[in-house]
Each structure stands twice: as C-alpha cells, then as structure tokens.
Amino acid sequence: MENMEQFDLTGTLSQYLDRHLVFPLLEFLSVKEVYDENDMLHGKLNLLSNTNMVDFAMDVHKNLYPDQKESATLRDKRQEVVTKLKTLQAETDVITKIFDDPEVQRQIQSSRDGRQLFDFLSKEHGFKQSMLDTLYKYAKFQYECGNYSGTAEYLYFVRVLLPPSDDHYMQACWGKLASEILMQSWDVALEDLNKVREIIDADSYPNALMGLQQRTWLIHWSLFVFFNHAKGRDLIIDLFLYQPLYLNAIQTMCPHILRYLTTAVITNKGRRQKVLKDLVKVIQSESYTYKDPITEFVMCLYVNFDFDKAQQKLRECEVVLMNDFFLVACLEDFIENARLLIFETFCRIHECISITMLAEKLNMNPDDAERWIVNLIRNARLDAKIDSKLGHVVMGTQAVSPYQQVIEKTKNLAFRSQVLALTIDKKLGGHNKQDNQWGGQE
C-alpha cells in the first residue's frame, strides 16, 4: 500500500486538470483501495462543492455520513440548481429551435466562415449576439450539472459562430474537449485536442509563461486521449518527444509526464528502436528532477547496463502500472515488451548466454524461456543460434553498416543548421518572422 501511494501521481496531475476530469481518477483510486475510503469520499465531496452535480454530492455525503440526515445545505442547493436550470432552458428554448431547423443544420455543416453563418442566422432567424452569450452560459451550466453531451452540442455551435478573438472562444474549445473526453468519444476528442493545440501554437501570448502554462494543461488533458485512441501511442511520441515547445514544457513544468512518454515508447513495437535513443537522453537529463520505476528501468538498461537492477525495477513497474489510471490497460503489453528489451540488450553485449541464466532474469522456466527466445530470435532477426546440448544462446557479430553510421551522424544536421542560421541572423540584426514571434512572447 505504501508503494502505491509513493508512486501515485493523481495529486500532481490534478493540478493541471479540470475538476470534472479528476472524478474518473478518484473513482479508479477508490476501486484500487490505494487510500482510506473516508479520505477519498472527503476528496470527492470537496471537488463536488463547486459544481452543480448535487445528486452525486448527496450520494457521497450519505456514504460518508450514513448515520446523519440528508444535508439541508445540499437540499437547498439542489432546489437552486433546478430553478436556475429551468430559467436557462426557457431562455435558450428559442435558440435551440433555430439550430434544430434542417436548413440551419445544413448551413452549419457546409459553412467555413463563422461570420457569414452568423449573418445568415441574423437575417433569416433574427439571431443576436446576446443569444450566443446565453447559449454559452447554458452550456457551461449544463457542464457543471454533468450533462456533457448537451454541453458538447451547444459549445459546438458557440465555437462555430464566435470569432477566435472573442474571450469565450478558447474557453468553449477547452469545454468541448473536456466534454468529449468525459463521454469517451475519442475520435472527436482527438479532433478537439488538435484544435486547441493549433490555437495555442498560433497565439502570441503577452509573455512566454502563459504559452508554457497552456501547453502544460494540454499535455495533461491529452493523456486521456492518447491512452484510449487507437493511434495514441504514436501521437504521444510525436508531440511529447519531437515537438520542442512541448518537450520544453515537460522538462520545465511537468517532468512526471516522462512516465507516460516512456510507457508509450516501450509499448510501441513499430517505432521503439528508432526513438529509444532520444528518449534515453531526455530521461538521463531529467533524472535529477524526476524518476520512478518506469524511467529508472530505462536508465538501468540503457545507461548503467545493470540487468539485475532492471529486473528489480520491472517488478516495481508492475505495481506502478496496476495503480495508474492511464497505464493500467498497458500492463501486460509493457511487461512483455520490457522483457524483450532486456533480452535484446543482453544479447547485444554478450557472445554466449546461458538459457538458464536468461530464464532466471526473465522469471521463466528454462523450457519456456528457450521457446520464447527461439521466437524472439526469429522475429527480431538477430544473428544468433541456440546450442541445445550446452543450453546456450550463441550470438553472431553485428557490425553497424556504413549507411546506418551516416544516418546516425547526420540525422540532426538540418535542425542544427537551422538553429545556427537563426543565431547568425539575430547577431546581424535581422528582422524576420522568428524575431517578431519571440518578441511577442517576451
């Protein structure tokens, strides 16, 4: 139990999540019994206090205080919420009827210009700016009540009609993303995630810190999408490891995200070998600010080449994965691929390996280990053969081709050249787009 609490990141992650997104994490911890149930109920009640999900709060209160009567405060709040909901429904009734019109639906689907669509609605249906404000308030109220499908529908209309310069536009994008996540609509959530990212990356914030904070929030919200979407484990690598602004945000604000990036890399069979070297560099550089069994496993295997310690860390990884909301579904995949990495690395630095010794390191019996190794050699195309009489795996020599050496030496050349060109341009006092962008962030 202590180990579970030691490696639990829920408190850290929650700082960068909307309170509604925290509820699934707390429910998961309750099921796993990581913390005392009364503490969990107190935490849920505290989170619910600033929402309109009064029925949920009353259920939690009843579980927390089974001997007490129904909370008068919550009962009064429920009446207030119902009254306000009816008022907002009456105000938005005329608006929702406009959007239910088939011709309006067709215009919304086909229109690429929000201003043009607004003019059409204004001319044909008497639509006003105040109606859009009312719809936004109603969507936000529905969200606080826990009606995420209604919120997503109304915020879609708000987002289409509002100009990007409007104060509510960005909030509508965040709200739509949160609603889709909570409904587990992963394809739509991915589209909304990309929409928010485009806005963040294109916006010129008054200072660099604001942009950094926005990216940090996006990184945390994206975990819901990346660990549930079919393409998520490729997308998380592309964004977290190979987008400099997001990698900088992770290194500066939230190095604990390396746990999720590392898991995505280890379980990504298609790209793992190509990106491992870059991941190891990042983990190594951030090891003084953050480490857990998952990042330490990589350090033991690829930096220290300590296979016994790597095996120990792998056992600890199992505990971490079992009790992490985002990673629990990756458990079997991670363990299988981690064993494969231990085997591949061990084989590449030894010429002759005892199958019995390998079986011990992989927590398998010798017969199963031999069959497993035969399949791995075949699939990994390693230059190796098994001596069944002596019980050894004999490795062949694996020289790196000149072609591969050239690729390794030159793969970062274009990026370095670009950085050098920009530096020279700044020294010479050039006024290009890059300078203007940096100037806008300072």
Per-chain mean pLDDT for the chain: 84
Distance CA 337, CA 343 (A): 10
CA 424 vs CA 33, 345, 429: distances in Å: 58, 42, 9
| 346 vs 315, higher pLDDT | 315
Name the CA dihedral angle for 34, 40, 41, 47, rounded to a multiple of 10 degrees: -140
Contacts of 23 (CB under 8 A, 6+ apart): 44, 47
Query: Nearest to residue 137, comparing CAs of 168, 99, 94, 173?
Result: 168
pTM given for the model: 0.83
One-letter amino acid for residue 146 of the chain: G
Q: Mean pLDDT across the stretch 299-318? A: 91
Contacts 24+ apart (CB under 8 A), 230-235: 231/190, 232/264, 233/264, 233/267, 233/268, 234/268, 234/270, 234/271, 235/190
CA 326 vs CA 227, 232, 239, 267, 322: distances in Å: 6, 12, 17, 14, 10
Distance CA 428, CA 442 (A): 20
Strands (E), 19-116: none
What 3-state DSSP class applies to 16? coil
Residue 291: φ, ψ to 5°: -155, 145
Which pLDDT value is given to residue 157?
85
Q: Mean pLDDT across the stretch 83-110? A: 82
106: which 2 tokens? Answer: 């067709």
pLDDT tens track for 191-230: 999 999 999 998 767 788 888 999 999 999 999 999 999 9
Share of the chain above pLDDT 90, in %: 47
Give the bridge partners for 392, in sequence order. 354, 387
Does the pLDDT at position 442 exceed 60? no
Which pLDDT value is given to residue 229?
95
Distance CA 10, CA 30 (A): 12
Distance CA 356, CA 391 (A): 7
Name the CA dihedral angle for 36, 40, 43, 49, rounded to a multiple of 10 degrees: -140
Does the pLDDT at position 8 exceed 80? yes
Distance CA 397, CA 45 (A): 62
pLDDT tens track for 357-408: 777 777 677 788 777 777 777 765 556 677 777 777 777 655 556 766 676 6
CA 172 vs CA 113, 136, 140, 143, 251: distances in Å: 17, 8, 9, 11, 29
Which pLDDT value is given to residue 112?
64
With contact defined as beta carbons under 8 Å apart, do 382 and 344 qualify?
yes
| 239 vs 413, higher pLDDT | 239
Helical (H) or strand (E) element with 392: strand 392-395
With contact defined as beta carbons under 8 Å apart, do 179 and 143 qualify?
yes
Q: Mean pLDDT across the stretch 103-121? A: 70
| 236 vs 405, higher pLDDT | 236
| Burial grade of 416 (CB within 10 A; 0-12, 13-18, 19 or more) | exposed
What 3-state DSSP class applies to 393? strand
With contact defined as beta carbons under 8 Å apart, do 44 and 23 qualify?
yes
Which pLDDT value is given to residue 419?
61
| 413 vs 46, higher pLDDT | 46
One-letter amino acid for residue 441 of the chain: Q
Distance CA 223, CA 233 (A): 10
Terminal Cα distance for the chain, rounded: 46
With contact defined as beta carbons under 8 Å apart, do 222 and 193 qualify?
yes
pLDDT tens track for 413-433: 766 676 677 667 666 654 443
